[in-house]
Amino acid sequence: MPVDFELTKEQEDIKATVREFAERYIAPKAVEFDEKQEIHPEIIREMARLGLFGVVFPDKYGGLGLDPVTAGLILEEIVRADLTFSLAVAYLVQTSWGYIAYKYGSEEFRDEVITKAARGDLWIGIATTEPGAGSDLVGITTTARKVGSEYVVSGEKAYISGVREARERGKWFEYGGGHVTLTYTDKSKQHRGMTFFFIPLTDPNISIRLEKEFGRKGWSFGSFVLNDVKVPEKYRIGDEGRGFYIAMEGFDHARAYIALACAVGGKRAIELAVEYAKQRKAFDSPIASFQGIQFQLADNWARLEAAHSLAYKALWALKMEQEGKIGRFEVTKIAAAAKLFAVQAAKAAIDDALRWFGAYGYTEENLVALALKAVKSYDWAEGSLDIMRLIVAREVLGRDFVSGRRR
Ligand SMILES: Cc1cc2nc3c(=O)[nH]c(=O)nc-3n(C[C@H](O)[C@H](O)[C@H](O)COP(=O)(O)OP(=O)(O)OC[C@H]3O[C@@H](n4cnc5c(N)ncnc54)[C@H](O)[C@@H]3O)c2cc1C
């Protein structure tokens, strides 16, 4: 199997441009994202100007037409500059679920919505989770009824990222945004009766409520209630009954990017802690000279390096799938394994790295402390670690061994 980690000239140039931007504009403000509980709108606008909200959309709709591996290289630079992971969420959700909305959306939808998203004038989020159903998507209760050329949608979505940014026009995104929202169009068919819609959160008939987040506070997280909200047919994403399958595909994209964000975030936390450990002295020696710290460093670095490679394998698998070279389930397995491994590697590394800072690690101005809170979100967001384990086991063992299945 040929393996090549070399970047193309185009990839090198993109990475260098984004790194320069991220170091100059993002890094100096990152601590403030959590402190102010929002991302400075001018940073979002500058990212939009660089095309960073449209990286995977085709040129025809105003995007950069990049593949998932190159989109990952951009994510690396964003995470390195913002260890609160707030901008990572803004970027990776648009890059994964925006792509899914483009792929399955109608031509009218693409012309109207994807072109705005590609310019960074509109943000696309994902809403599958409800107060009563997260891991078990079949348990959702939101429904969509067809009435003439519209659908009437009712239900509640909970713990959804970006509800505030999508609700407000003009502050972060000119047109606000909306969420690719999972509903039932025929509950009797269970997962075969689910359908996705793009639902703009700017609709005044939708009410939103914000949660107080534990970490990653720059990007909002909350619920929205749909009370007989009318959604035009052109906003349906994919055919009726295909929602569950499209959701599974979208999760693969998001999980691969999350795996990369965690691997890179973990490495960056270690780098910051290493700088500190080289100059901080205890017992007349830099703490970096103590083997207790060196062994932690080595174990974590080895795990993060492995997580980094596996994340790129997942992004490469998405690219191969787009080129028709590998199948869906292979991608699902690698993406789930990548998220499972990277989240745990990052949590362990960031926790150890934070300890090297001593008491200074227990302050909210320490980026590594903010990273520890943020990375915890990936125990659940885009599928819990237990669900990742179930997926990997199912793909390795075969579907006859799915736990709890009636035989
Ligand atoms: C910061 C953050 C952002 C989020 N953003 C979004 C978003 O933008 N859009 C969206 O739709 N959702 C979002 N979510 C929700 C996320 O997708 C869910 O939290 C996740 O799917 C788990 O669902 P749940 O919270 O309902 O937990 P539950 O499904 O109730 O699970 C609770 C626990 O039981 C375990 N469990 C469940 N089933 C099994 C099983 N079969 N075997 C073993 N263990 C099991 C789970 O692993 C978990 O530990 C976000 C969550 C967080 C924390």
Report pLDDT digits (tens) over 67-114: 999 999 999 999 999 999 999 999 999 999 999 999 999 999 999 999
How large is the average pLDDT for residues 117-146?
A: 98
Q: State the distance from the centre of ligand 1 to the C-alpha of 147, rounded, in angstroms.
A: 32
Query: Where do we find the tokens 């994340």?
Result: 311
How large is the average pLDDT for residues 334-338?
A: 98
Q: Read off the tokens for 42.
A: 């001018």
Could you tell which of 92, 159, 161, 402 is best to mutate to test the pocket of ligand 1, judged by most ligand atoms within 8 Å of the CB? Answer: 159
- Separation between Cα atoms, residue 327 and residue 321, nearest integer Å: 6
Q: What's the pLDDT band for 3 if we cut at 50, 70, 90?
A: confident
Residue minimizing CA distance to atom 7 of ligand 1:
160
pLDDT of the residue at 228:
97
Query: Phi, psi at residue 64, to the nearest 5°?
Result: -90, -10
Give the rounded distance of the alpha carbon of 396 from its chain centre: 25
How large is the average pLDDT for residues 162-173?
A: 98
Atom in ligand 1 nearest the alpha carbon of residue 216: 1
Q: Which residues pair with residue 225 across a beta bridge?
A: 156, 207
Q: Is the CB of 300 under 6 A from ligand 1?
A: no
pLDDT of the residue at 142:
98
Residue minimizing CA distance to atom 4 of ligand 1:
381
Tally: H helices and E strands in the chain: 13, 10
The residues near 253 (Cβ < 8 Å, ≥ 6 apart) are 68, 95, 96, 97, 99, 100, 318, 335
How large is the average pLDDT for residues 230-254?
A: 98
Q: How many CB atoms lie within 10 A of CB 168?
A: 17
Residue type at 296 in one-letter notation? Q
Is the pLDDT score of 337 beyond 80?
yes
Q: Considering the chain, what is the average pLDDT of its residues?
A: 97
Burial profile 284-310: b = 16 or more Cβ within 10 angstroms, e = fewer: eeebbeeeebeebbeebbebbeebbeb
Residue minimizing CA distance to atom 6 of ligand 1:
160
Is the pLDDT score of 401 beyond 90?
no
Is the pLDDT score of 406 beyond 80?
no
Burial profile 107-140: b = 16 or more Cβ within 10 angstroms, e = fewer: eebbebbbbbbbbbbbbbbbbbbbeebbeebeeb
Q: State the distance from the centre of ligand 1 to the C-alpha of 380, rounded, in angstroms.
A: 5
Q: Is the CB of 381 under 6 A from ligand 1?
A: yes
- The model's pTM is 0.98
Q: What's the pLDDT band for 405 if we cut at 50, 70, 90?
A: low
pLDDT of the residue at 399:
84
Q: Is the CB of 383 under 6 A from ligand 1?
A: yes
How large is the average pLDDT for residues 140-157?
A: 98
Q: Could you give the 3-state DSSP secondary structure of residue 182?
A: strand
Atom in ligand 1 nearest the alpha carbon of residue 93: 8
Q: State the distance from the centre of ligand 1 to the C-alpha of 293, rounded, in angstroms.
A: 34
Is the pLDDT score of 404 beyond 80?
no
Residue minimizing CA distance to atom 43 of ligand 1:
386
pLDDT of the residue at 204:
95
Query: Where do we find the tokens 């819990």?
Result: 384
pLDDT of the residue at 407:
52
Q: Is the CB of 128 under 6 A from ligand 1?
A: yes
Q: What's the pLDDT band for 1 if we cut at 50, 70, 90?
A: confident
Q: Is the CB of 86 under 6 A from ligand 1?
A: no
Q: With 0-12 CB in 10 A as exposed, 13-18 as middle and 19+ as buried, what is 93?
A: buried
How large is the average pLDDT for residues 29-37?
A: 97
Domains and CATH numbers, the chain: 9-123 (1.10.540.10), 124-240 (2.40.110.10), 244-401 (1.20.140.10)
Q: Residue 82: which of 40, 128, 123 has the closest Cα?
A: 40
Could you tell which of 85, 89, 97, 129 is best to mutate to test the pocket of ligand 1, judged by most ligand atoms within 8 Å of the CB? Answer: 129
Q: What's the pLDDT band for 131 if we cut at 50, 70, 90?
A: very high
